[in-house]
Amino acid sequence: MKSFRASAGAGEIDPEVAWKAVASRDAEARFFYGVMTTGVYCRPSCSSRRPLRKNVRFYATPDEAERDGLRACLRCDPKAERRADPAAAEIQDAVRFLEEHSGEAPSLGELARRSGLSAAYFQKTFRRLVGLSPKQYLDSVRMRKLKAGLAAGKDVTETIYASGYGSASRVYERAGSELGMTPAQYRAGGRGVSITYAEVASPLGRMMLGATSRGLCFLQFGESDADLLSKLRKEYPLAGLEPMAEPRHPDFDGWIEALNGYLAGIRTSLDLPLDVRGTAFQMRVWKYLQSIPYGEARSYSEVAAGIGEPKAVRAVATACARNTVGVLIPCHRVIRSNGELGGYRWGLERKRVLIDTERAGRPA
């Protein structure tokens, strides 16, 4: 059973995508939702009355829901598929073992022997039932414990080791993609992150760039500077925002020159530093988008297949829509399977211009 996760690397469920699946009773979504007021958890496709969003939590597995004290819905029977699998009990035990021993690093062979299964069968069955490989699930357990500890205001170093990480450097290496900031900043709710911004003219209209000390975190187009500043505040509500001082840093002027050359079709590549935050699923999608050659396009289903999640087409579309750095993460290169443009947060006219400009400048 493939769990509908925001990230196979981080083990999180994208709540926005998940809620849409519940609202539409998506039969292909593979996660579970619990209704805290009734104490029941269900499949997204359950025909029961739709609960209020504020009362809902999402879970990757029945075990997670039951650890929160929820019981299985009698109508949609969310545990039925797991009970039908002959190795379900062994995989459940392995999941429980990883939850309780997140500080250890058991090999695939050790886990398989503990379950009495061959390594190949254990790996395949674990991924089918849980939606992640054993290593990915262990990573998800550690990151979940880390986030919970930091959100509770616990000491950063103590929380890192208590979550099962063997070193602090490992956490800081993943901070940008998993937390979107350093652990200390995450614990503070994002406060202390400083973003400087500037609005400039571009071939596609007004463009705003926002940057942290690590790179660009915001590149969007709009109809006015006020509109763009509003979007920046919405994306980073707890960060400190400051207009870029004049004269601007030479590196920034170099970024603008490169971007405008790209938008005009003079340049065919960009290599600017990024500091983006997102779920690990979004990061996987964004990384794939950056691999699409200049002047080419992929369908949403091709992107989903390309990241190894062929049924996650809707989640791919959502990840494209959540991109905060237009052009640098080229979500404009993703179109519908029938050739239609699909959506684009900065307008289909801009998307068409970008696609046509790239195709015209594509190397023969």
The CATH number covering residue 138 comes to: 1.10.10.60
Q: Is 315 helix (H, G, I), strand (E, B) or coil?
A: helix
Tell me: do 96 and 181 sit in the same domain: yes
Is residue 221 a part of any domain in this protein? Answer: yes
Is residue 2 a part of any domain in this protein? Answer: no
Q: Is the dihedral of CA 264, 349, 328, 207 positive or negative?
A: positive
Cα–Cα nearest to 66, from 88, 34, 98: 34
* pLDDT for the residue 352: 92
Rounded Cα gap, residues 233 and 224, in angstroms: 15
Model confidence pTM above 0.75: no
Is residue 23 a part of any domain in this protein? Answer: yes
* pLDDT for the residue 284: 85
Tell me: do 284 and 351 sit in the same domain: yes
Report the CATH number that the domain containing residue 36 is assigned in CATH. Answer: 3.40.10.10
Tens-digit pLDDT profile for residues 93-124: 888 888 787 777 778 888 999 889 899 999 88
Which of 81, 99, 114 is a domain's end point? 81
Tens-digit pLDDT profile for residues 161-197: 555 554 444 544 454 444 444 545 544 444 567 889 9
Q: Which residues contact 26 (CB under 8 A, 6 or more apart)?
A: 20, 44, 45, 314
Tell me: do 170 and 228 sit in the same domain: no
Tell me: do 181 and 100 sit in the same domain: yes
Q: Which residues contact 283 (CB under 8 A, 6 or more apart)?
A: 7, 9, 177, 276
Rounded Cα gap, residues 285 and 276, in angstroms: 13
Tell me: do 94 and 184 sit in the same domain: yes
When divided into structural domains, the chain yields a total of 4
Order of strands across the sheet that contains 194-200: 216-222, 206-211, 194-200, 240-243
Tell me: do 254 and 200 sit in the same domain: yes
Is residue 5 a part of any domain in this protein? Answer: no
* pLDDT for the residue 335: 92
Report the CATH number that the domain containing residue 210 is assigned in CATH. Answer: 3.30.160.70
Alpha-carbon dihedral angle through residues 61, 62, 63, 64, given to the nearest 10 degrees: 60
| Structural domain boundaries enclosing 214 | 194-263
* pLDDT for the residue 331: 95
How far lies 91's CA from each of 108, 121, 262, 296, 350, in Å? 13, 11, 50, 42, 48
Asked if residue 62 lies in contact with residue 82, where contact means CB atoms within 8 angstroms, the answer is: yes
Is residue 269 a part of any domain in this protein? Answer: no
Tell me: do 183 and 204 sit in the same domain: no
Report the CATH number that the domain containing residue 302 is assigned in CATH. Answer: 1.10.10.10
Cα–Cα nearest to 269, from 298, 292, 285: 292
Could you list the active site residues? Answer: 42, 331
Tell me: do 205 and 294 sit in the same domain: no
Tell me: do 202 and 153 sit in the same domain: no
Is residue 46 a part of any domain in this protein? Answer: yes
Is residue 330 a part of any domain in this protein? Answer: yes
Tell me: do 354 and 289 sit in the same domain: yes
Tell me: do 99 and 184 sit in the same domain: yes
How far lies 47's CA from each of 19, 341, 357, in Å? 15, 34, 47
Q: Is 247 helix (H, G, I), strand (E, B) or coil?
A: coil
Is residue 272 a part of any domain in this protein? Answer: no
Bond prior to 247 in cis (omega within 30° of 0): yes
Q: Is 41 helix (H, G, I), strand (E, B) or coil?
A: strand
CA 146 remoteness from chain centre = 17
Which of 81, 103, 123 is a domain's end point? 81
* pLDDT for the residue 91: 84
Which of 64, 81, 98 is a domain's end point? 81
Per-residue pLDDT of the chain (364 residues; tens, 9 = 90+): 333 333 333 346 788 889 988 988 887 788 899 988 777 899 998 877 788 888 899 998 888 888 777 888 877 778 776 555 677 778 878 888 887 877 777 788 889 998 898 999 998 888 777 667 888 877 777 766 666 665 555 554 555 555 555 444 454 445 444 444 454 554 444 456 788 999 988 889 999 999 888 788 899 999 899 999 999 988 888 788 999 888 877 778 888 888 988 998 888 888 888 888 776 778 889 989 999 999 899 999 999 999 888 888 888 988 898 898 999 999 999 998 888 888 898 999 999 999 999 888 765 4
Cα–Cα nearest to 85, from 117, 19, 46, 129: 129
Tell me: do 185 and 198 sit in the same domain: no
